Amino acid sequence: MSKKDEVLTALFKLNEYNSSESNILSVANNQRILHHFLLGKDTEFEDIDISKRPKTYFPHRTKTSFSYNFGSDLHLDLENIQIEIDLTIEFQGTIGVFEGKNGKPDSFAIYQIYHPFLYYHKANQLSGIQGKIKEVFGVYVVKTIENGITNLKIWAYTFENHLDITSIKFVKSVCYQLNN
């Protein structure tokens, strides 16, 4: 094994070292899986100006206020709530907000992708950003290990009515197997 191969092997071992939700997204980002899934290609554009390349924004929490519907029967006004965004990728007006999970959850809380979706939809109305966001996807990433094989299962959703959490719409899904 060459020195370069030894270094790469050591680096990729970090993929399994940390089992946090943030690391799941780091692994998927480092392997260029997230760009391929969201944008349909690996967008390492060495010959394109940096201002036109995809942008990745790592986890953060922020406070915001929302007003939206839960179906036709309930209206919610949420003031100064804290939301968590695990990861955001933006490219040419397409935004993917990512929620990462470990293991096989029985279900997921839609608000974990809806609140970030609504946050960016709301941002699209602000001066300086207004109209620059073309579409927003809520993306759910689950890492599982089955029979010694690491899988990244990814689902993308959008909301047909941006002011109704129950209007969630499945867009696409995929499962990537990582070589250990």
Statement: residue 98 has pLDDT above 50: yes
Q: Residues 85-97: pLDDT tens digits?
A: 898 888 888 999 9
**Count of CB atoms situated within 10 Å of the CB of 162:** 17
- Non-local CB neighbours of 102 within 8 Å, separated by 6+ positions: 19, 20, 21, 24, 142, 143
Pair type for strands 149-159 and 168-178: antiparallel
User: What does pTM read for this prediction?
Assistant: 0.77
Q: Residues 23-42: pLDDT tens digits?
A: 677 777 767 777 778 877 66
Give the chain's mean pLDDT.
81
> What integer is the mean pLDDT of 130-148?
90
